[in-house]
């Protein structure tokens, strides 16, 4: 699953994603919109991705057995805003209409499968500190920079089925001005988990010069969220470092 900001409209990245031989879902981010005002580059990316892009839509797979619904594409956080490029492609969609599109996608999902929401920016309501999962850390006052339409949609979806997981990026793990690191995992009172995957940069080198690549890792067992972690992989596929965020506690017999 790709949470967006693939590279300022870089079509090479999209071509590479399309070659991935396993089930894939993509939501484009604010840096993917093209900055051309016309939406022409955004339209090309959407056409290339086809049904891999799940903005306001549903993807389901036979393996793994999960349902993935997309939030609003090209979000820049901060409540609700549509760029010129998004308006050129999708029209002047309101906050309420965007929330309803997400809800309608969720209603099409199989009720017996884990439900994952894939977003670029996470929902509002996860905190207003700089270090909150969607907190604004680059400007004072620090505020909740999450998407209001996504938060509204989650509340409505919960009336039919509690989402298991919301995956997003946008707000980087490293805070501005060397202010520390962001809280990247949370769970609400209904059991929905929220995972910020925006490790930037996503690749780098260890002290020995070995290339490391970051992936956020999630496991489900019998339809229940079982394991969540941030992992840094070596080129041979071995794990160099694992940051464990959540492990399901076994039920006492």
Domain of 191: which CATH number? Answer: 3.30.750.180
| Secondary structure (DSSP) of 174-223 | BPGGG--B---EEE-TT--EEEE---SSSEEE-TTS-EEEEEEEEEEETT
Indicate if the pLDDT at residue 250 is higher than 80. Answer: no
In a domain, 244, yes or no: no
Structure tokens belonging to residue 191:
């059991």
Q: How many CB atoms lie within 10 A of CB 200?
A: 11
4 pLDDT more than 80: yes
Query: Which of 104, 151, 95, 121 minimizes the C-alpha distance to 27?
Result: 121
What average pLDDT does the structure give for the chain?
Answer: 96
How many of the other CB atoms lie within 10 Å of CB of 139? 10
Residue 153 has pLDDT above 70, yes or no: yes
d(CA 87, CA 80): 13
Q: What is the 3-state secondary structure (H, E, C) of 43-88?
A: HHHHHHHHHHECCCCEEECCCCCCEEEECCCCCCCCECCCCHHHHH
**pLDDT in the model for residue 252:** 58
Is residue 77 in a domain? Answer: yes
Determine the structural domain holding residue 68 and report its residue range.
11-200
The reply to whether 249 falls in a domain is no
**What percentage of the chain reaches a pLDDT higher than 70?**
99
CA dist 137 and 156 (Å) reads 29
What confidence tier does 251 reach under pLDDT thresholds 50, 70, 90? low
Per the domain annotation, does 223 fall within a domain?
no
Sheet holding 203-205, edge to edge: 203-205, 211-221, 224-233, 239-247
Domain assignment of residue 49, yes or no: yes
Q: What is the pTM of this model?
A: 0.96
The pLDDT of residue 253 is above 60? no
Torsion of CA 31, 33, 149, 141, to 10 degrees: 40
At 124-148, the pLDDT tens digits run 999 999 999 999 999 999 999 999 9
Confirm whether 41 is domain-assigned.
yes
| Number of helical H runs and strand E runs in the chain | 5, 10
| Residue 221 falls inside a structural domain | no
Q: Residue 9: pLDDT band by 50, 70, 90 thresholds?
A: confident
Burial of 111 (0-12, 13-18, 19+ CB in 10 A): exposed
HSE, side-chain direction, 13 A CA sphere, residue 58: 17
- Gap between the Cα atoms of 240 and 213, Å rounded: 9
Residues with Cβ < 8 Å from 246, sequence gap 6 or more? 185, 187, 193, 225, 227, 228, 229
Each residue of 41-91: pLDDT tens digit? Answer: 999 999 999 999 999 999 998 888 999 999 999 999 999 999 999 999 999
In a domain, 231, yes or no: no
Tally the domains of the chain. 1
Determine whether 56 is exposed, middle or buried from the number of CB atoms within 10 Å of its CB (0-12, 13-18, 19+): buried
In tens, the pLDDT along 205-229 reads 999 999 999 999 999 999 999 999 9
């Amino acid at each position: 699953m790709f949470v967006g900001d693939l590279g300022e409209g870089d079509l090479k990245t999209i071509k590479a994603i399309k070659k991935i031989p396993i089930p894939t879902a993509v939501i484009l981010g604010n840096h993917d919109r093209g900055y051309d005002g016309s939406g022409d580059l955004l339209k090309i990316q959407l056409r290339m991705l086809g049904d891999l892009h799940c903005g306001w839509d549903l993807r389901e797979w036979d393996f793994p057995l999960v349902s993935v619904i997309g939030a609003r594409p090209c979000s820049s956080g901060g409540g609700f805003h549509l760029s010129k490029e998004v308006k050129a492609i999708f029209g002047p969609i309101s906050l309420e209409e965007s929330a309803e599109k997400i809800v309608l996608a969720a209603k099409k999902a199989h009720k017996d499968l884990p439900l994952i929401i894939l977003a670029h920016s996470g929902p509002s309501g996860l905190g207003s500190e700089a270090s909150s999962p969607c907190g604004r850390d680059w400007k004072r006052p620090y505020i909740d920079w999450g998407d209001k339409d996504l938060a509204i949609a989650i509340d409505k979806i919960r009336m039919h089925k509690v989402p298991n997981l919301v995956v997003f990026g946008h707000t980087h793990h490293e805070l501005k001005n060397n202010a520390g690191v962001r809280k990247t995992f949370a769970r609400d009172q209904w059991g929905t988990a929220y995972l910020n995957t925006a490790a930037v940069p996503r690749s780098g080198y260890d002290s020995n010069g070995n290339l490391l690549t970051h992936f956020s890792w999630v496991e489900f067992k019998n339809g229940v969220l079982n394991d969540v972690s941030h992992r840094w992989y070596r080129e041979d596929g071995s794990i160099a470092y694992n940051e464990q965020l959540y492990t399901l506690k076994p039920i006492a017999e």
